[in-house]
A and B are shown apart, each in its own frame.
Chain A
Amino acid sequence: MSGERLGLAALAVALAAVPALAPTAYVVTLLNVIGLYAIVTLGLILLGCSGQVSLGQAAFYGLGAYTSALLSRDLGWPPAATIPLALGLVAGTAYVVGVPTLRLAEHFFVLATLGVGIIVNVLMVQLVPLTGGASGLRDIPGLALPGVRITTDRQFYYLIWTLVFVTLILARNITSHRTGRALRAILGSEVGAAALGVEVSRYKMHVFVLSAVYAALAGALYAHYIRFISPSPFSLYASLFFLIMAVVGGLTNIWGGLLGAAAVTILDQIIRAEVPRVFPRVGGEYQTAIYGILLVLIMIFFPSGIVRGALDLRRLLVRSAARPAPVPAGAQDPPTLGDPPPVAPRAKPADGGGGM
């Protein structure tokens, strides 16, 4: 799908140029945060492809952050080793959480992940000798990969966005091959998928563990980037925030992960900055409320996410503009998940090889 590749390349070039063109350091910092959230959201969207939803993603994000922070700070191990260790530990945790909970029906699975999120957050606050409790962990070592020290916002920007691209491409590849088809089949009908030999629970487990690893990667990067962590960014509210990003992006749309993370983060920033100016006397709760209303509106008008919503809108406009001479539906189909099957012209019925 060359259109998608082109888009990816254009985005990469644009993002690479940002630090040089950015008017303020704030833009780079904001993009770093968006990048970290995008990685978590991509994990959630992979999970969403199989029809699952997690409200405990901040727990894995936090576990990644705390594990890498503690190992590097208290044991003096290099982050190049502690980050992979954190990913491994979180993968193991997700597996242990998944064994009993993935058997549950959808909404019970969501509740189970919610419970895990709460437990992990309580432990972060309560295990004071280990985690420093509510006051958090200071003096986390910065990133020193072999040969390079990554300390400035700008250096982190390149690292984070490289990893965003890597995780994006991995996720895209997964969804467009056998595994991804199996996951989407599970979303369509678990019984139907199993009847074709898809090991439903195994696939659910794989993608759940993978989504946790995505969150842990973002968390570990966060810890070494900010160099201070406390329980609050890993609370239930953060899990909800991630889920909203995924839903806004379109729960099964890989590209939506990027856009959802960006849109929600920027929206959040705008609301935080603008609401106190417009309504000087209202408290922080009202900001959250306005934010909630905007999200409800998005859900009503773009139920399958803003990306899909915008594409549908465009298709609708194109169709109504071209009403006198309707364009065949396939001709302007926007790029969606997965490569569309190669389709030879209708005139050649028998040998399917023509299109390949």
Chain B
Amino acid sequence: MSGALLEAQDLSRRFGGVVALRRVSFAVAPQEIVAVIGPNGAGKTTLFNVVTGLLAPTAGRIRYRGADLAGLSPARIAALGIIRTFQNPMVFGEMTVAENVMVGCHRWTRTGLLAAALALPGAIHEDRLVSRAALEALVLVGLRDRAADPARDLPAGQQRLLEIARALAARPTLLLLDEPTAGLSAGEARHLVEVIRRLRADGITFIVIEHNMDVVMEAADRVIVLDYGEKIAEGTPPEIQRDPRVIAAYLGEEPDAVPAAGVSLP
């Protein structure tokens, strides 16, 4: 797939004797919404960690817009426009909600130590821009009212939304969301799906680790299924729903033991 935004090729990652990812290959096209699903411990978060440079792959490579990401630091990869959220939100607890999102703007702002120290007009101007962008991102996820509160005061679900707002403020090209709807109410989750769709229309590409099958079915163009570090299936949501290997993985059976037909997802 030459038009791919992100392309992973035979990606493997071991931790000692444990294989967290085994020869995983996939490609993501611009403005696609790809869901990554799989049982706990399937390697989903490891995949995100490898793509964002937090972990080096043991083998295989990742290309982003045709360029190899090997050896780049997480900050460099973020600078290229690949932004992620974390399964356990990494909010900056001592900072306010708005300041957290302002850090998200780091990628596309330039004020350095000296300009800041002297409060040069450029720094002041940029700061205004940044606080406006931060508030816009907070409005989008519905956290506008909490802007001035310390981030540590937010409940877990809202910390997740804060992290998403922060990631959006970074103006990502590719956004990796790790279980974005965990801890959200059904209504909040639905709203988030809407937001994701709207942002896709604006040009953002998404890879989403998601457990909530309703969200996957509703939002994803394509689904990648991992099990024990291997990609066992890939396809549209309806295809995945019917795939016997996927059903087996979720039911905890060996693929060989799956009857040829007549099984549907519970």
Contacts and interface: CB of A to CB of B under 8 A. Distances in A.
Contacts of A162: none
B102 A173 contact: no
A192 B131 contact: no
Nearest to A198: B106
Interface residues of A, number: 44
Interface string A164-203: 0000001101101111111011011101111111111000
Contact of B123 (A170, A177, A191, A355): A177
B131 A341 contact: yes
B27 interface: no
Contact of A200 (B75, B94, B119, B131): B75
B218 to A, nearest CB: 25
A350 interface: yes
Interface in B97-140: 98-100, 102-107, 109, 111-113, 115-119, 123, 126-128, 130-132, 134-136, 138-139
Contact of A210 (B105, B113, B135, B136): B113
Contacts of B90: 188-189, 191-192, 195
Given A178-B111, A181-B99, A196-B103, A189 B92 contact: yes
Contacts of A188: 90-95, 151
Contacts of B83: 195-196
Interface stretch (B37-45, B142-150, B181-189): B142-150
A346 to B, nearest CB: 6
Contact of A173 (B79, B118, B126, B149): B118
A174 B132 contact: no
A243 B86 CA distance: 34
Interface in A142-171: 170-171
Contact of A196 (B78, B94, B119, B127): B78
Contacts of A355: 135
A343 interface: yes
B50 interface: no
Given A174-B116, A341-B148, A197 B78 contact: yes
Would you call the interface of chain B mostly helix, strand, loop, or mixed?
Answer: helix
B265 interface: no
Nearest to B95: A184
B112 A179 contact: yes
B74 A178 contact: no
B216 interface: no
A343 B143 CA distance: 12
Given A189-B91, A197-B170, A179 B111 contact: yes
B103 A341 contact: no
B22 to A, nearest CB: 25
B212 interface: no
Contact of B116 (A177, A192, A198, A346): A177
A305 B104 CA distance: 29
A178 B148 CA distance: 18
Interface in B199-256: none
A350 B139 contact: yes
B78 A206 contact: no
Given A188-B91, A188-B93, A189-B91, A341 B147 contact: yes
B61 interface: no
A177 B119 contact: yes
Interface string A303-341: 000000000000000000000000001100100001011
Nearest to B74: A194
Contact of A198 (B100, B103, B111, B145): B103
A193 B102 contact: no
A129 interface: no
Contacts of A197: 75, 78-79, 106-107, 170
Nearest to B176: A195
A350 B106 CA distance: 23
Contacts of A182: 103, 106
A178 B106 contact: yes
B9 interface: no
Nearest to A353: B132
A356 interface: yes
A179 B113 contact: yes
B170 A184 contact: no
A343 B75 contact: no
A191 B74 CA distance: 8
Nearest to A344: B135
B102 A356 contact: no
A33 to B, nearest CB: 26
Nearest to A348: B144
A352 B139 contact: yes
B143 to A, nearest CB: 11
Contacts of B91: 188-189, 192
A280 interface: no
A200 B149 CA distance: 25
Contacts of A194: 73-75, 78
Find the residue from B112, B113, B167 having the highest chain A CB count within 10 A: B113
A173 B170 contact: no
17 contacts: A174-B113, A176-B116, A177-B127, A182-B106, A188-B95, A193-B103, A196-B106, A196-B170, A197-B107, A198-B106, A252-B94, A330-B148, A341-B147, A343-B148, A352-B132, A355-B135, A356-B132
The 3 closest A-B pairs by CB, nearest first: A188-B92, A192-B90, A352-B135
